C-alpha cells in the first residue's frame, strides 16, 4: 500500500484533472467540484510538475488534452466510474439487508410483533424495521418495502395480495365473564358495558353493525368505555371494563393464553380482509419474497370459515 501511494499523485489533483478533461473547462470543473477556478488550476499545475510534462494545451478560449493527457483522462475516468459503481453496489447490498414493514398499531402489536421473531431467527442477516402507522401509506414512496392493511383490496398506489380474512365476536376477561354468567342470545349483550373505539375507517366493524347482523339494535346510549384506538379497547377488556369486539386474527394469542374469552359462539365474517401491499414502480427486494412466504405460512395456521 505504501508503494502504491508513492506511485500515485494526490487524489485531489486527479479528481480535478478528471473533471477538467471530461468537461473541457477549468471553470465548469471548478463549479462541479465546488471550488475556485484558481484552485483547480493549482491542482493541474501540481500534476504537470509531478509528471514532468503538460496535460493540456491552453488555446484561445479553450483547452484540449495533450496525448498524455488523453491517455490519463481515459484511465482516470474508467477508474472513477469503477469506484462509483462498486460503491453503488455496496450501498444496494446494504439496503437489501433492511426490510421495512408497515402495519397498523393493532396489527403490529397483537399479530406481527408476537410472531416476527421466528422470521428473524430464520433470516438473521436481515434487519427489520417495523413502521407502525394507521394512516394510508404510499408504498411506491420508498419509505417501506411492504405494508399490511385491512380493507377492500383496492389500493391505487400498490400491488395487492390477499393475506387472510377475519371474523368478529364479543370478548371479555375471564373474571368479567364469570361475573355476568353465560349469555345465550346476542341481544343480552346490550345489558352490559360495550367497549368501543373511534375510527373513520369505513371497513371497520363496530357494535352497531355487529349487533345488526343478528337483528339486534345497538343501545342508543351505550354505557361502555369509548377508546381512541382498538388497542386501548382490548386493554380495557383485559382489565374487566366490559365487553369488546374481538377480531380473531388480532386476539387469537390472548384467547389461547386465556387472558380473554369469547362471550358467545356467534360471530360474523368480515366483508373485507387483510392484504399485503407491495410497490408497483419499485423493484422488489429478494427479502420481500421471503417475508411474504413467511406471512402466508403464519396465516395458514388459522383458517376462518
Query: In the numeric block, which cell numbers belong to residue 53?
Result: 510534462
Q: What is the pTM of this model?
A: 0.66
61-65, 82-86, 123-127, 207-211, range with the lowest pLDDT: 82-86
Q: Tell me the pLDDT tens digit for each residue of 179-229.
A: 998 888 999 999 999 999 988 778 889 999 999 999 999 888 878 899 999
Each residue's pLDDT tens digit, 256-285: 999 999 999 999 999 899 999 998 877 778
All domains in the chain, ordered by first residue: 2-91 (1.10.10.10), 97-165+272-299 (3.40.190.10), 167-269 (3.40.190.10)
Q: Do the Cβ atoms of 131 and 241 come closer than 8 Å?
A: no
| 266-270: long-range pairs with CB below 8 Å, 24+ | 266/169, 266/170, 266/186, 266/214, 267/167, 267/168, 267/169, 268/167, 268/168, 268/169, 268/205, 268/210, 268/213, 269/165, 269/166, 269/167, 269/304, 269/305, 270/150, 270/165, 270/166, 270/167, 270/168, 270/205
Which own/partner contact pairs does 172-175 have at CB distance under 8 Å and 24+ positions apart?
172/237, 172/240, 172/242, 172/243, 172/244, 172/260, 172/261, 172/263, 173/237, 173/238, 173/239, 173/240, 173/259, 173/260, 173/261, 174/258, 174/259, 174/260, 174/261, 175/240
The pair phi, psi for residue 128, each rounded to 5°, is -95, 140
Percent of the chain with pLDDT over 90: 55
Amino acid at each position: 500500500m505504501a508503494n502504491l501511494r508513492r506511485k500515485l499523485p494526490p487524489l485531489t489533483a486527479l479528481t480535478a484533472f478528471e473533471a477538467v478533461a471530461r468537461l473541457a473547462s477549468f471553470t465548469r470543473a471548478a463549479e462541479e467540484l465546488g471550488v475556485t477556478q484558481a484552485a483547480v488550476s493549482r491542482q493541474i499545475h501540481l500534476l504537470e510538475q509531478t509528471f514532468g510534462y503538460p496535460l493540456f494545451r491552453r488555446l484561445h478560449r479553450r483547452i484540449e488534452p495533450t496525448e498524455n493527457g488523453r491517455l490519463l483522462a481515459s484511465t482516470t475516468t474508467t477508474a472513477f466510474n469503477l469506484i462509483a459503481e462498486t460503491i453503488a453496489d455496496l450501498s444496494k447490498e446494504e439496503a437489501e439487508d433492511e426490510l421495512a414493514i408497515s402495519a397498523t398499531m393493532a396489527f403490529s402489536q397483537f399479530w406481527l410483533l408476537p410472531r416476527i421473531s421466528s422470521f428473524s431467527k430464520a433470516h438473521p442477516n436481515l434487519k427489520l424495521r417495523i413502521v407502525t402507522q394507521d394512516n394510508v401509506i404510499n408504498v411506491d414512496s420508498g419509505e417501506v418495502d411492504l405494508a399490511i392493511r385491512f380493507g377492500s383490496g383496492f389500493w391505487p398506489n400498490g400491488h395487492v395480495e390477499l393475506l387472510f380474512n377475519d371474523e368478529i365476536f364479543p370478548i371479555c376477561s375471564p373474571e368479567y365473564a364469570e361475573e355476568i354468567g353465560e349469555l345465550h342470545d346476542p341481544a343480552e349483550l346490550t345489558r352490559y358495558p360495550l367497549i368501543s373505539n373511534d375510527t373513520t375507517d369505513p371497513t371497520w366493524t363496530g357494535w352497531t353493525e355487529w349487533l345488526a347482523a343478528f337483528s339486534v339494535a345497538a343501545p342508543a346510549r351505550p354505557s361502555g368505555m369509548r377508546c381512541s384506538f382498538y388497542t386501548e379497547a382490548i386493554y380495557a377488556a383485559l382489565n374487566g371494563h366490559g365487553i369488546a369486539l374481538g377480531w380473531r386474527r388480532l386476539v387469537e394469542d390472548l384467547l389461547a393464553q386465556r387472558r380473554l374469552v369469547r362471550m358467545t359462539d356467534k360471530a360474523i365474517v368480515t366483508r373485507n380482509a387483510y392484504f399485503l401491499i407491495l410497490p408497483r414502480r419499485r423493484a422488489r427486494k429478494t427479502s420481500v419474497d421471503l417475508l411474504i412466504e413467511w406471512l402466508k405460512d403464519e396465516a395458514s395456521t388459522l383458517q376462518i370459515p
